[in-house]
């Protein structure tokens, strides 16, 4: 796919709003999805939505401790950002844009931008619209969550004002298909989509009194409504991860402050630990030759808690380690070009901190360094 031209605001890179380089920008954080990604060239990139746009840090070379950034990319009137990455390496940024007309009424739409290659400018923000013509219904349209399937097709999920879920997906040649109403009731924000290696998508939607579940029977197919899950995830905490061939596990915080693992159709498993209401981070990687799930979350004290266990063995017990690093919002988690688990945190000043897995047995982290 050819590169799309970046907007003038995006091309300014490290320049903050109103042209004040180095100005402190209040961290806003990612609404859903990951925010630390491995590019096709082996470099990591971190994104932090801030007031007025998004900041980006880029690793200088694979495995390096030197990073470039933060670079600032303007996103006027955009909040509640969600990020996802396709198998092609493209990073997709989604946001909810609310603007006020001259007569005082508000307009709300969903917007989308892409980073095609590591370190390149973002594309321009393009509107994906709003399925509602009625101004009041349109104003209640919620926050986007996205996922890209194996072919790179982007799927955008949004809770609507009636408590159901709408989907809009990219079609052939980049042309977007119309919004689809998937139904549902009493959904809240923090929709958690996941994709399997074959490109099949599942969606968990936290709701009042339960969790709603949709799935594709095959990659590229329609989203089908599954059975409701009689659990209540904290809104904004859930994350999904393929933990076995064509099987997705969802992890979230429950209202009592603990963490839960759930595979649709199975009993939930309590994972212990005390958490807040930020999103969990999850990756799958090999540790000591075992296919493992790694989870990270911000604990009740504000410090990042980390755990690793063999995939789908949660019932055998999960042990958490305090990393000693406090963060604003949920942590970032990725596997770098050398197969090392990499953890990222943003502090209260908006600075980025990184720690990489060290050599040796188990999951041990090296010293934190500030970008």
pLDDT tens sequence across 150-176: 888 999 999 999 999 999 999 877 889
Task: Give the chain's mean pLDDT.
Answer: 90
Q: Please state the rounded mean pLDDT for residues 34-50.
A: 96
Burial class of 98 by CB neighbour count within 10 A (0 to 12, 13 to 18, 19+): middle
Q: Please state the rounded mean pLDDT for residues 11-27.
A: 46
Residues 6+ apart with CB under 8 A from 126: 111, 112, 113
Which is it for the CA torsion 153, 42, 70, 285, positive or negative? positive
Which is it for the CA torsion 6, 113, 140, 236, positive or negative? negative
pLDDT at 44 over 90: yes
Q: How many CB atoms lie within 10 A of CB 370?
A: 11
Span 265-308, pLDDT tens digits: 899 999 987 777 889 999 999 999 999 999 999 998 999 999 99
Q: What is the pLDDT of residue 19?
A: 34
Tokens of 330: 């949920």
Span 200-259, pLDDT tens digits: 999 999 999 999 999 999 999 999 999 999 999 999 999 999 999 999 999 999 998 899
In whole angstroms, give the CA distance from residue 52 to residue 125.
Answer: 13
pLDDT at 8 over 50: no
pLDDT at 5 over 80: no
Q: What is the pLDDT of residue 55?
A: 95
Q: What is the pLDDT of residue 3?
A: 32
Helical segments of 105-204, H only: 135-139
Q: What is the pLDDT of residue 7?
A: 36
In whole angstroms, give the CA distance from residue 294 to residue 309.
Answer: 7
pLDDT at 28 over 90: no
Q: Is the pTM higher than 0.85?
A: yes
pLDDT band at 336 (very low <50, low <70, confident <90, very high): very high
pLDDT band at 10 (very low <50, low <70, confident <90, very high): very low
| Run of H or E residues at 8 | helix 8-11
């Amino acid at each position: 796919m050819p590169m799309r031209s970046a907007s003038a605001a995006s091309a300014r890179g490290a320049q903050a709003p109103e042209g004040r380089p180095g100005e402190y920008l209040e961290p806003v954080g990612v609404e859903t999805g990951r925010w630390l990604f491995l590019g096709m060239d082996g470099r990591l990139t971190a994104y932090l939505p801030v007031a007025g746009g998004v900041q980006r840090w880029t690793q200088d070379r694979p495995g390096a401790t030197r990073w470039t950034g933060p670079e600032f990319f303007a996103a006027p009137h955009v909040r509640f950002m969600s990020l996802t990455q396709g198998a092609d390496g493209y990073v997709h940024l989604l946001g909810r844009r609310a603007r006020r007309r001259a007569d005082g009424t508000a307009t709300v739409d969903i917007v989308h931008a892409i980073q095609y290659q590591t370190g390149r400018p973002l594309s321009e923000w393009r509107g994906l619209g709003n399925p509602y013509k009625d101004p009041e219904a349109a104003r209640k349209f919620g926050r986007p969550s996205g996922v890209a399937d194996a072919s790179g097709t982007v799927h955008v999920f949004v809770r609507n004002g009636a408590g159901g879920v709408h989907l809009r997906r990219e079609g052939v040649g980049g042309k977007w298909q119309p919004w689809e109403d998937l139904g549902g009731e009493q959904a809240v924000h923090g929709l958690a989509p996941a994709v399997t290696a074959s490109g099949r998508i599942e969606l968990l939607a936290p709701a009042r009194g339960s969790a709603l579940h949709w799935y594709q029977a095959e990659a590229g197919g329609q989203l089908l409504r599954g059975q409701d899950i009689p659990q209540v995830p904290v809104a904004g905490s859930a994350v999904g991860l393929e933990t076995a061939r064509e099987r997705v596990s969802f992890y979230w915080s429950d209202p009592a402050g603990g963490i839960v693992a759930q595979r649709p159709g199975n009993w939930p498993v309590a994972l212990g630990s005390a958490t807040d209401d930020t999103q969990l981070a999850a990756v799958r990687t090999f540790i000591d030759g075992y296919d493992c799930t790694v989870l990270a979350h911000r604990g009740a004290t504000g410090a990042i808690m980390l755990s690793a266990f063999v995939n789908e063995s949660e019932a055998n017990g999960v042990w958490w380690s305090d990393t000693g690093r406090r963060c604003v919002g949920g942590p970032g988690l990725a596997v770098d070009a050398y197969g090392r688990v990499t953890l990222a945190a943003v502090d209260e000043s908006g600075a980025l901190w990184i720690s990489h897995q060290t050599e040796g047995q188990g999951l041990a982290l090296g010293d934190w360094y500030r970008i």
